[in-house]
A and B are shown apart, each in its own frame.
Chain A
Amino acid sequence: MTERLRLINAVIKYGDVKAVDDVSLTVRDGEFVFITGANGSGKSTLTRGIAGLLPLSSGTITRTERLGYVPQVEEADRNFPASVWEIVITGTQGRGGLFYSMGSRRRALQAMDELGIRDLAKRGINSLSGGQLRRVLLARALCGEPELLLLDEPCAGLDAESHALLFSVLRKNVASGCAVIMVTHDASDLEGIHADRVITLSHGRIVNDE
């Protein structure tokens, strides 16, 4: 199996505070990994570190370049003048090229179909509900054909139907060899879901990996 992520003794600090403390973790293709823990346990910091948004204070990280990242909160102006289509297709920009190819457009459409948001394509992002926006962000992550999907609290604000759809889409990607890391603080997200591993964080350290 191919490694998609390897963290060795990773430390991420905010000032003198270690938000992630000596975390070592390897994730391979086709693995479905949950990271859980209480608020403030370092889950989101670890996620942002893996996504390359926070530098490691020490330790090393090796990961595939084809990352699909779904942040907990979209760090963007909700009134930004953009349509759903314009946002989704940006997910293909990690594959290089300054212009969107036919392949990029096809993948973006496929991802929107998969998540049932094609009819929203021309809608402004400022008109979406929280649940619709989460589907848009997942479609954006998927259309880059990621080898590693990194999702930070993707179930927040989802109704039961969207929740089921999310896991069906994730399962399909895992089956095709994508590694999935999903961060959640809510243990109920794990109910009825078969995860390959559940990692528990506390005070920035891995306290359980089973």
Chain B
Amino acid sequence: MMSELLEILTYPFVYRALIAGALISVCASVLGVILVLKHYSLIGHGLSEVGFASLSIASALGLPVMLVSAPAVIIASFVIMFVSQRFRAAGDIAIAIASSAALALGVLVSSLTGQVSAVSNYLFGSVLALSDGDMILAVMLSLIVMGVFIVFYNRLFLLAYNEDYARSLGINTTLYQFVISALTALVVVMGMRITGTLLISGIIILPAVTARRLASGFRSLVVMSGIVSLVSFVLGLAVSFMINIPAGAGVILANTVILILVRVIF
């Protein structure tokens, strides 16, 4: 069994999947800490539906998916965040409207243009089909997300803890909200290739929820969320090979099993 797994690692499509998937999973889980603490857990789900609509349109027009999806999802994240800020209680409503409308639009466009099979890869993910370009993009994106997170760590902590107090200090909270939105949008767009649009919110939220039970401070929560995500991704990918199931589903189920185990044990 072990030698089979090691042999699998020598295939280029496997190490591409491992590197890109692990990096995106860790980035998603780190951002997930902020989103969970700020009660924006569903934003990843909403954005992934917008991603689905945008990739349907990109496929229909024959344009590169990233070229259409990245700006579309970033703009959608800004709109959702703006509505959440402006009408505090309406955040979940904004996400619900954006996600259902976008999903309907995506289904409509892909049906009318006969692109259903082309976009289905994005519904359930296809981490093993990542190209070298996808892997390089994932590495660059991960460096950006982690770099921004480290540089703005203290601001993001304060924003997650008490936005009102941050504002009383003269900190431009709207700017940092948009930073969080933009990073989340980029992770969602990349994550669509790994777990698919239907499951991307899982790799954002599940590790953070699991880590909350294991960590007492904010810093340890961020680190623990990253570790849980990494372990879940590797486990999920390995299991998906062994029992021949889609990798995205394997990763999310691994995350879910770890969450349940942690909740039971701790």
**Chain A residues at the B interface, C-beta cutoff of 8 Å:** 51-53, 65, 67, 69, 71, 74-77, 80-83, 86-87, 90-91, 93-94, 98-100, 124, 144
Contact = CB atoms under 8 A, between A and B. Distances in A.
A90 B161 contact: yes
Nearest to A99: B154
B221 A81 contact: yes
Most buried by A among B152, B162, B217: B162
Interface residues of B, number: 26
A71 B161 CA distance: 14
B212 interface: yes
A94 B168 CA distance: 8
A67 B157 CA distance: 20
B165 A81 contact: no
A15 to B, nearest CB: 14
22 contacts: A51-B167, A51-B168, A53-B164, A53-B167, A53-B168, A67-B168, A69-B165, A69-B168, A75-B162, A75-B165, A77-B37, A77-B161, A80-B37, A80-B161, A80-B218, A81-B216, A81-B218, A82-B157, A83-B216, A90-B154, A98-B151, A144-B169
A52 B168 contact: yes
A94 B164 contact: no
Contact of B165 (A71, A83, A86): A71
Nearest to B39: A77
Nearest to A90: B158
A144 to B, nearest CB: 7
Of B166, B215, B216, most buried by chain A (CB within 10 Å of CB) is B216
B170 A52 contact: yes
A100 B154 contact: yes
A76 to B, nearest CB: 4
Given A90-B157, A94-B171, A98-B151, A82 B218 contact: yes
A103 B154 CA distance: 16
Interface in B202-253: 212, 215-218, 220-221
Given A76-B165, A90-B154, A94-B170, 14 more contacts: A52-B168, A53-B168, A75-B163, A77-B37, A81-B216, A81-B221, A82-B161, A86-B217, A90-B166, A93-B155, A93-B171, A98-B155, A124-B217, A144-B169
B217 A93 contact: no
Most buried by B among A76, A77, A81: A81
Nearest to B33: A81
B186 to A, nearest CB: 21
B152 A93 contact: no
Given A81-B218, A98-B155, A76 B161 contact: yes
A73 B165 CA distance: 11
A134 B162 CA distance: 15
Contacts of B168: 51-53, 67, 69
Contacts of A144: 169
Interface string B155-186: 10110111111111111000000000000000
Shortest beta-carbon contacts, A-B, top 3: A94-B169, A76-B162, A69-B168
Contacts of A51: 167-168
A86 B170 contact: no
Contacts of B160: 80
A69 B171 CA distance: 14
Contacts of B216: 81, 83, 124
Nearest to B219: A86
B158 A93 contact: yes
